[in-house]
């Protein structure tokens, strides 16, 4: 292979970068939650998903009503 040394050097560099990335990610601590954070996340999830589910349900019921008629 003509460029064997360059290919080996590139692979070793990629391997080294991947190992550095893994070690750096494992040292990071997750951000601690404050007192009302979990409740706020639940409320925001309900505000997002409940209207979407209601719209989906309304469309399904509407299509079923049209299909039956």
Contacts of 7 (CB under 8 A, 6+ apart): 1
User: Are the CB atoms for 36 and 42 separated by under 8 Å?
Assistant: no
d(CA 6, CA 14): 12
The dihedral formed by the CA atoms of 44, 50, 52 and 55, expressed in degrees to the nearest 10: -150
Q: What is the pTM of this model?
A: 0.48
Check residue 31 and report its DSSP letter: P
Each residue's pLDDT, cut to its tens digit, for the chain (69 residues) gives 678 889 899 999 999 988 887 776 556 667 788 898 999 999 999 999 999 999 999 999 999 999 987
């Amino acid at each position: 292979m003509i460029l064997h040394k360059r290919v080996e050097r590139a692979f070793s560099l990629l391997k080294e970068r991947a190992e550095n990335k893994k070690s750096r990610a494992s040292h990071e601590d997750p951000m601690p939650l404050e007192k009302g954070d979990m409740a706020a996340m639940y409320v925001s999830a309900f505000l997002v998903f409940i209207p979407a589910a209601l719209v989906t349900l309304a469309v399904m019921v509407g299509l079923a009503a049209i299909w039956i008629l």
